[in-house]
């Protein structure tokens, strides 16, 4: 009887195909997890801006600013105004958008819409509560 000290070519091919499939699935899961984390970061940033506008800015100036800046949002980390792609709120391709409403030509507005473009869901939107 003949003794074998190694793997056959077929066994090696089956092993390589199996490893390829497993690594493809793992890469897909890793990519999905990364997208979920970026979406969560976007939601945290929009919520932080929203609550800062409600609790700090509105009581201080009697409304909402026409243009939102880090200097106005004093009760939050200014780094949250930068999206996961490194673009700041208000830049052309930023995932974050601030849209003032009811400005009537002045610098103080009666409302706003905060939006974040998400990768796995619809846009995340926050507006001031209705009185």
Mean pLDDT over 101-110 rounds to: 88
pTM: 0.81
Whether residue 33 is predicted with pLDDT greater than 80 in this model: the reply is yes
Residue in 77, 46, 63, 48 with CA at minimum distance from that of residue 106: 63
Structure-model confidence comparison of residues 35 and 3, the more confident one: 35
Q: Does pLDDT of 130 surpass 90?
A: no
């Amino acid at each position: 009887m003949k003794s074998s000290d190694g793997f056959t070519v077929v066994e090696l091919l089956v092993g390589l195909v199996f490893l390829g499939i497993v690594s493809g699935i793992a890469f897909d899961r890793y990519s999905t997890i990364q997208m979920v984390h970026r979406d969560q970061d976007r939601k945290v940033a929009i919520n932080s801006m929203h609550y800062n506008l409600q609790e700090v800015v509105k009581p201080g100036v009697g409304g909402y600013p026409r243009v939102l800046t880090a200097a106005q949002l004093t009760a939050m980390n200014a780094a949250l105004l930068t999206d996961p792609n490194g673009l700041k709120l208000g830049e052309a391709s930023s995932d974050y958008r601030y849209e003032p409403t009811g400005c009537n030509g002045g610098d103080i507005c009666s409302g706003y819409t905060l939006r974040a473009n998400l990768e796995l869901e619809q846009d995340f939107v926050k507006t001031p509560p209705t009185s």
